[in-house]
Amino acid sequence: GANGVTADLVAWPAQSSLAPHRDRPTLLVFAHPHCPCTGATLAELSGLLAEFAGRVDARILFCHPSDASVDWWQTDHFATALAIRGLRVGTDEHSAEAENFGASTSGHVVMYSPGGHVLFSGGITVARGHVGANPGRQALTAILRGEEPATRRTQVFGCPLASQANTL
């Protein structure tokens, strides 16, 4: 596995097929469906969305490498994500959107303002597969409360998105 360093994006990438929400922040999560660490990210995300229901447009994209089977992304993580209220779930064919947004590690979260500017980029777990208090989750909570976060960038702990294999 790798500890991804967040990309220096400032605005929503023009080449993306996705668009930011016009009236509330957009939260994008890039995940590897077979990464064991993804469960911790989903747990943190579930807690965040329970607290801020309807106040953020949250979407998770599970990578689907070009050489993977058609149903490769259908894992327990995908099913867990589908059960999280307020989370839109999709696949990222050939990891194209992850590339557009500079996400290379499972669990990379990026939050944008309604105008498409980066408010936060990084991970929302403190270590690989670890659920609990962490700077990323605290930053997102502060932003959604209209407060200034202590940080706007954190490290991402997880498997490389481009890999088909479980890379632990």
Q: Looking at residues 129-144, what average pLDDT do you find? A: 89
User: Residue 128's pLDDT is what?
Assistant: 74
- CA distance readout (Å), 19 to 25, 48, 63, 100, 116: 11, 22, 18, 12, 8
Please give the single-letter amino acid code of residue 58: A
Phi, psi of 142, deg, nearest 5: -60, -45
Distance of CA 113 to the CA centre of its chain: 15
3-class state of residue 134 by DSSP:
coil
Structure confidence by residue, pLDDT tens digits, 96-131: 999 999 999 999 999 999 989 999 999 998 777 677
d(CA 33, CA 39): 9
Look at the chain and count its residues. 168
pTM over 0.85: yes
d(CA 121, CA 136): 8
Is residue 134's pLDDT more than 80? yes
What's the mean per-residue pLDDT of the chain? Answer: 87
User: Residue 9's pLDDT is what?
Assistant: 58
| Mutual angle of helices 38-51 and 135-144, in 10-degree steps | 20
Contact 130, 123 (CB under 8 A): no
Is residue 2's pLDDT more than 50? no
Structure confidence by residue, pLDDT tens digits, 15-52: 999 999 999 999 999 999 998 889 999 999 999 999 99
Q: Which helix (H) or strand (E) holds 61?
A: strand 57-64
Contact 47, 87 (CB under 8 A): no
